[in-house]
Structure 1
């Protein structure tokens, strides 16, 4: 009986240790797009699975999509405050809060999403310690360059005058206003409704997400140029990160690298680019390629954004000339400068 009891106790202890190991780290990841969106299926899910495998199952991450834990603009604060352990955050949803990173939102810089993701990570990782010090920066996820989609045709900057445009982020809102338009600020999940109700006449959006969010029924004209990127991030709660065991913290570090930014972004970039060809092939859509002169007009119209950005960064005590030069250099180095 004594031998049986010892055996039972040993088995119970083994099960207890095994159960504890299986649930060593349970994390919650929050984002704000549908669970079927490529951000989740081609970016977040492979990243989560890789962490689980690399930690031998010690780290389990549960995904909460579609604003289940909080509204899209709140995701930075959700990471800071521990409402979620990891959040998918668009810094541009909060105007003026992250002036350094808003450089990535100025149009006509990034020519693609894949290499640009790695370039952005290389450029911004040390700068994140300056303006995002209350969270742990992990990786960057831009979409492949989006463009302007509208109910009536837009070819040159002056066509924006008098239009209501749903901008991708704060910098694009500033650009719309600069061109004489009015910005309609709604998160991506609410964009279709704004267009359907006539609150907005146009939207800046990546190509295939127009289909994913059902906006293709509302916008029929599309400007064929790498207009802008909206560059999201994965951010971690610092308390959670600092509290991990060293071996688990190393697993997270290994998944918060420039290479992972590119890997995380590749599937979504390819998916978004595929929407462009769908629209070209569709008889219901008009895709317009601007001339060199028209591209020049767009570039010229965007110059005040760069000057305003420099003033914002200077006001924060940073050197905008160096930061801008480093940004352009990082894009050039990875062949992703427009």
Structure 2
């Protein structure tokens, strides 16, 4: 009888331990996070990976992450928004302009000569999210919105110094606003994911691309480029968002950890980050003996004035496509950017 009783006690203890192990396993949540950049890019190494580690540590291990960068099954730039809305991934970082048309309000930040400062553009986007831009993020918890520093025009052979030099060039474009800018200047915009630019430059399908310095380095483009025009005529914006259902399923503690390392605390970092990410690309081009041309103030003003009809037409197009207050949004962006620069 005693041995039977001991056996029953042992079985009960085993059951309790097994239940505890199962409960612990159930308490752990693995979140899928996707983005479209290579794992050597600063967005991956300085932003995404450290962010996941901070949240995981804060949650006491309750939350774990599986990150899918470029080159993985979930790393397609054109699918970041749809993947996170559908819950295929829990969190995604992507470009507002690819595919085109999904974020017409937010993408007004990409307008030519609105700003060449990552910090200013990021500040404007984040300040305008409540109320003004929020409609474009239904079903999503916005962890951050941000933008890069002013983009340059990089070419493989032809040196570009004036607007007239743009005519006939096949240039890779990142967004609808930049496409319209290029077309207005006489170039032929080519919509391609960043990861396909190298091959198309190498094959001569492209004459050049518009990028800030950082992807020139991370995608190895200095190997197939020779000239760089420091245009600073545009910026491109990004989203870092979470599926609302995935967020709601987490414990209050885990949600608090995500909140702690997102929003204002995260957005404030992008200004310095982009400056750091741009430097290696420029340094590499200098070391390779490439030609880097700065637009003169007079030439920059020529570009600005020449592009004003395109800017007006683009804002009107956004309005015609259903954003009734497109002019107001554009004006608010101008005001937020000016306020940020004045306080800097």
Q: Normalising by structure 1, report the TM-score.
A: 0.90
Equivalent residues in 2 for 1:75-224, closer than 5 Å: 75-150=80-155, 151-224=157-230
CA contact (8 A) 1:113 1:143 kept: yes
Larger Rg: 2
Unmatched 5+ stretches in structure 1 = none
Question: 1:238: which partner in 2?
Answer: 244
Q: Are 2:54 and 1:50 equivalent residues in the alignment?
A: yes
Runs of 5+ in structure 2 lacking a partner? 1-5
The alignment yields a C-alpha RMSD, in angstroms, of 2.4
Task: Pick the aligned partner of 1:71 from 67, 76, 92.
Answer: 76
Task: Quote how far apart the aligned CAs of 1:288 are.
Answer: 0.8
Displacement after TM superposition at 1:202 (Å): 1.1
1:264 Cα offset (Å): 5.2
Structure 1 residues 246, 283: CA separation in 2 closer, same or farther (over 3 Å shift)? closer
- Structure-2 residue corresponding to 1:62: 66
Asked if structure 1 preserves the Cα contact closer than 8 Å seen for 2:177 and 2:314, the reply is no
Partner of 2:3 in structure 1? none
TM-score, normalising length: structure 2 = 0.89
What is the Cα deviation at residue 165 of structure 1? 0.5
CA shift in 2, pair 1:121/1:197, >3 Å: same
Match for residue 45 of structure 2? 41
Counterparts of 2:227 and 2:339 in 1: how far apart (Å)?
A: 34
The CA distance in 1 between the partners of 2:288 and 2:44, in whole Å, is 30
Comparing 301-310 and 183-192, the one that deviates more: 301-310
1:94–1:170 Cα contact (<8 Å) kept: no
Over 3 Å counting, the alpha-carbon distance change for 1:227 and 1:310 in structure 2 is closer
Relative to 1, partners in 2 of residues 1:19 and 1:244: Cα closer, same or farther, differing over 3 Å?
Answer: closer
Match of 2:336 among 284, 307, 330: 330
Q: CA deviation at 1:115?
A: 4.7
Contact 2:33 2:90 in 1 (8 A): yes
Residue 5 of structure 2 is aligned to residue 19 of structure 1: no
> Shift of the alpha carbon at 1:87?
1.3
* Alignment pair present for 1:256 and 2:262: yes
Report which stretch shifted further, 85-94 or 299-308.
299-308
Pair 1:34–1:320, CA change in 2 (3 A): same
Change (3 A) 1:267 1:139: same
Q: Which runs of 4+ in 1 moved over 6 A?
A: none
